[in-house]
Amino acid sequence: MPQFIRRHADTFIALGIFVVALAVYNATLCPSLSYKSPDGNELATIPYVLGLAHSPGYPLYTWLGKLFTFIPVGDVAHRINLMSATLGAGGVALLYGIMRLLGAGRLTSTFTALYFAFSRTFWSQTGIAEVYAPNVFMVALTLWLLLRYEQRTSPVYLVLAAGCFGLSLGTHLSNLGFALGIAVFVLLVDWRVLKRPGVVLGAMAAFLLGTLQFLWLPYKAGSTNDPLLLRHDLRTLEGLYRYTLGAFPQFKFAFPLQLIPDRIVLYLYLLRQNVGLGGILLGVYGMAEVLVRRTRHFYLFILMYLVHVFFFVQYRVFDLDVFFIPAHMLYIIFIGYGVDRLIGYGGELIRRAGGSAGGRFLRAAGSVGLAAVLALAVGGQVQANWEVNDYSQDTAISDFYANVFEMLPPGSVMLGRGGVFGYDMFYWRLV
């Protein structure tokens, strides 16, 4: 049994991280509908009716949400909120696995996963119906499969990673920007893969198979009469493009060049909210360490990170912070690696103290002190962000409609807004 535990220690630790994160997310979960997200009430309704969500459609999110609606806990909105908590915790557990595949120790890998788990913006999305926590799960799973491919150079993992990447577009289409970093990484792992057309075609086929989910959009367009959703004819390629890749042109590259420095400052402010000033500095140090020691991984992560930040720095939306969540995860990977290397250097100094009683005491004290410091850092995240992300008492919408329905006379009709912002009312009608 001890040998079995040692062999599967990482699996048990990842499972423990999942349980801890899910327990916290469940404790702060919104019990039903919420205005914490402008799209949340729509995204709590559409999976139940297997309908058509707003651009770019989110097919995978819709299908996964439908599965969660069968869980006999709370109302349907609560179950969709629970999907964000569950898949968010799953993404955090996968982050532990990613750090281990990068060669980080178990302590720093656990720290990295939990530090991200309780960062302000990511945590805020694990308690409501939104796409961002499920998207982190899909991005983390893609990265984990890519690193497993590197470890074993097995075409099976490459094909699985490509398929997972294609599926991830159904939780957020902006993931397409990660393609450059992924392609460069695959070539750096083994450029001779280009000489194996069967593997290349298999990976491409898996990716395209994942993207076929968007055929759901023209299929479901026939079942809706919402003019806001049907501004484009989804039965044509042009209409499908405008609904997906061409959606929201007014938001994209919306700022002139002279305003880009201000937008970068805004991004750095949002990053500091999530990792602190010390975290930003550690991340820069971690980038340098990854560049020197794990060059392939550096190009994978930095290209994903820079493309993502570049795109959303120029994106004009009022809830900009949530769009940077994948970038925050990548940055925290750099932080974790930087912490791991500092621990490695410290351990080397202690080892040089020799095997004397003083040296053994120093090693034991160092280990305990290090664990305490990392635990305090995670605890600081929890303490700083619990109150702002605790939605467990957010019952305003349910309370409002319970009173409204009680007050309305028999035979009356209540009219509300259309489109995404009217789904707090549509939920009661459709669900």
Give the residue, 169 or 229, on which the prediction is more confident. 169
Question: DSSP assignment of 119-143, as one string?
Answer: -HHHHHTSSSS-SHHHHHHHHHHHH
Give yes or no for residue 226 having a pLDDT over 70. no
The predicted model scores a pTM of: 0.95
Contact 77, 65 (CB under 8 A): no
User: pLDDT tens, 321-374?
Assistant: 999 999 999 999 999 999 999 999 888 877 776 655 556 666 667 678 888 999
Map tokens 């997906």 to a residue. Answer: 244
Q: How many CB atoms within 10 Å of residue 33?
A: 30
Using CA atoms, how far residue 146 sits from 113, 152, 185, 244, 368, in Å, is 18, 10, 9, 26, 34
Using CA atoms, how far residue 150 sits from 3, 96, 154, 292, 332, in Å, is 27, 17, 8, 18, 21
Query: What phi and psi, each to the nearest 5 degrees, are found at residue 355?
Result: -95, 15
Question: And the tokens for 267?
Answer: 């991004």
Tell me what the pLDDT averaged over the chain comes to: 93
User: How many whole angstroms separate alpha carbon 385 and alpha carbon 181?
Assistant: 32
User: How many whole angstroms separate alpha carbon 381 and alpha carbon 118?
Assistant: 6
Give the residue, 169 or 419, on which the prediction is more confident. 169
User: pLDDT tens, 242-282?
Assistant: 999 999 999 999 999 999 999 999 999 999 999 999 999 99
